[in-house]
Chains A and B, each alone.
Chain A
Amino acid sequence: MGLNISANKVLASIPYLFEGVGITLEITILALLLGTLLGLVLAIIRVYGSGAFRQFAVIYSRLVRSLPLLVILFMLYFLGSEIIDIPAFWAIILALAIHSAAYQSEIFRGAIQSISKGQMEAALALGMSKYQGIFYVILPQALRRAIPYWANEATIVLKDSSLAYALGVTELMRRGEYVSARTSQPLITYIVVGLIYLLLTYVFTKSMARVESKVKIPGLER
């Protein structure tokens, strides 16, 4: 009986939680946009670049993948307090982007390297420049191959966006905590919050699978 009433209080907060979903999605999408761009550039530099650029991409990936997201997040946040002001909302976006870019650079690098060497040679033999070869021949194939791995990384970014909680950004997780405190029903609240995240990752994974089959090259295995 008592549980029912409190459960209802939690359920009444669902619209409030869903406003948090909006912010969670904003963070996720912006972080993915930046992270994918940076990851792709790093991967291209790593495969086709030379000298210092290539070294930089290698070291970036190795260092960032050894740093917990929270460390990066707080570094950016405190960088804000000490040098330039970075609002919490942007601190989490940048931290996620920097962190994810390292993993994405590995994904894209693997995809690029899985395209047979002959593809680039054929492009060069036609008179294409290296850049034309990369953009018109290698990337269209590599990006298709990267889709399932990228989609997996994207759901990780979505889930990790919950760490914005630590900076007090009122996304889904932080709102969950408010609801939990107000209703004194942490168990039910966090189950509801968890189910919302599950729904988000499920919908995303399903739609990426559809994208993947949509852009599949006819006749080609994988």
Chain B
Amino acid sequence: MIDHIQYFISIWPELFKGLVVSLELSVGALLLGLVIGLPMALMRTYGKGIVKAFAVGYIELIRGTPMIVQLFLIYYGLPDLGILLDRVPAAIIALGINSSAYQAEYFRGAILSIDEGQGLAAQALGMTKQQAILNIILPQALRLVIPPWSNEVIYMVKYTSVAFLIAVPELMARGKMIISQTFKPLETLFWVGVIYIIVLSIIAKVVDIIEKKLAIPGFQMSGED
């Protein structure tokens, strides 16, 4: 037992550096995903013709392909077009694009679940459609989107491990590096796993608290309860 803990202490500094990179990737990807995902959701929900078709195509294309394909396309494929990206930005962009499609669907689901009467009431007050979306629909939808969005946060932290495949030095990659030095694969992976579990539990708790803070009494997405 003491041996195991000593081993953990010896590899912790290295794993910690990896954890920091994993979290950086997650935050970057989630933000990028939000910035792309929200407009995509609005385009798919309220857009017409080519705008809507573009959003649908984008979302379904991303959701229909594995993240690793997206990652390799961006890291190995884009240089064919003269676009060279470092590992970390490439990973953030790939993860962010991946996340944007899922986030778009969460936002769309939330928007669609807002009662139609809300928009009509806003327009009856003389608001334009844009004003109604911005002032009435979105503030409600954003609250409803928190539970699925918190799932996406956890997914994203887990999936940053895929960046290890292009040698981004995140938690998983550090673990693999340590294994090649210490030849203790199971022990190392055990501690890597423990770190993921602890970090994700903390994140889940924090999101839970935020969710409760922002809740409007008696207001939740149908089917979520």
Q: Which residues of A pack against B, CB within 8 Å?
A: 63, 65-71, 74-75, 78-79, 81-82, 155, 159-160, 162-163, 165-166, 173, 176-177, 180, 185-191, 193-194, 197-198, 201-202
Report chain B residues within 8 Å CB of A202.
Answer: 64
Q: Chain B residues near A75: list those with CB within 8 A.
A: 186, 189-190, 193
Q: Which residues of the other chain, A, contact B117 by a CB distance below 8 angstroms? A: none
Residue among A187, A189, A197 with the most chain B CB within 10 A? A187
**Complex CA–CA separation, A176 to B131 (angstroms):** 48
* Distance of A163 Cα from B192 Cα, bound (Å): 18
Minimum CB distance partner of A181 in chain B: B76
Residue from B80, B185, B189, B200 within 8 A of A186 (CB atoms):
B80
Q: Complex Cα distance A37/B95, Å?
A: 31
Complex-state Cα separation, A188 to B78, whole angstroms? 10
B80 and A78 within 8 A (CB): no
Interface residues on B, range: 35 or more
Residue in B80, B81, B189, B197 whose CB lies within 8 Å of A74: B189
- Chain A residue numbers with a CB within 8 Å of B192 are 71
Contact across chains for B185 and A165 when beta carbons are under 8 A apart? no
Asked if B6 lies at the interface with its beta carbon under 8 angstroms from chain A, I say: no
B-chain residues with CB within 8 Å of residue A82 when the two chains form the complex: 185-186
Query: In the assembled complex, how far is the CB of residue A159 from the closest CB belonging to chain B, in whole angstroms?
Result: 4
Please state if B196 and A66 are interface contacts (CB–CB under 8 Å): yes
List CB contacts (< 8 Å) of B41-74 with chain A: 61, 63-70, 72-73
* Contact A159 B186, beta carbon cutoff 8 Å: no
Query: Which residues of chain A are near B128, meaning CB under 8 Å?
Result: none
Is there contact, CB below 8 Å, between B78 and A68? no
Q: Is A163 touching B68 in the complex (CB atoms < 8 A)?
A: yes
Q: Is B159 an interface residue (CB 8 A)?
A: yes
Residue of B nearest to A190 (CB): B73
A186 → chain B closest CB, angstroms: 4
B185 CB contacts on chain A under 8 angstroms: 74, 78, 81-82
* Contact between A194 and B65, CB atoms less than 8 A apart: yes
Interface of A is mostly: helix
User: Is B182 an interface residue when CB atoms closer than 8 A count as contact?
Assistant: no
> Is A68 in contact with B76, judged by CB distance below 8 angstroms?
no
In angstroms, Cα B68 to Cα A53, docked, is 36
**B149 contacts the other chain (Cβ, under 8 Å)?**
no
A70 touches B69 (CB 8 A): no
User: In the complex the two chains form, what is the Cα distance from A20 to B106 in whole Å?
Assistant: 33
> B129-156 vs A: 1/0 string, CB under 8 Å?
0000000000000000000000000100
* Closest A residue by C-beta to B204: A66
**B158 at interface by CB-CB < 8 Å:** yes
**17 pairs, A vs B, C-beta closer than 8 Å:** A63-B197, A68-B172, A71-B192, A74-B176, A75-B190, A75-B193, A162-B69, A165-B68, A165-B165, A176-B72, A186-B72, A186-B79, A187-B79, A189-B77, A190-B77, A191-B77, A201-B63
Q: Indicate whether B114 reaches chain A with its CB closer than 8 angstroms.
A: no
CB atoms of A163 and B162 under 8 A apart: yes
Using a CB-CB cutoff of 8 Å, which residues 187-202 of chain B contact chain A?
Answer: 189-190, 192-193, 196-197, 200-201
Q: Contact between B67 and A159 (Cβ–Cβ < 8 Å)?
A: yes
Contact A198–B165 (Cβ < 8 Å): no
Tell me if B123 counts as interface (CB < 8 A to partner A). Answer: no
CA distance A71 to B73 in the complex (A): 23
A63 to nearest B CB, angstroms? 6
Contact flag A198-B159 (CB < 8 Å), given A75-B186, A166-B165, A190-B76: no
Contacts A186-B77, A187-B73, A190-B73: A67 and B196 contacting too (C-beta < 8 A)?
Answer: yes
Smallest beta-carbon distance A135→chain B, Å = 26
The distance in angstroms between the C-alpha atoms of A194 and B66, with both chains bound, is: 8
Instruction: Tell me, yes or no, whether B164 is within 8 Å of chain A by CB.
Output: yes
A81 to B183, CA, bound (A): 11
Inter-chain CA distance A209–B122, complex, in Å, is 36
| A71 proximity list for chain B (CB < 8 A) | 161, 172, 175, 189, 192-193, 196
Assess whether B69 is in contact with A173, with CB atoms less than 8 Å apart.
yes
Contact B64 A198 (CB under 8 A): yes
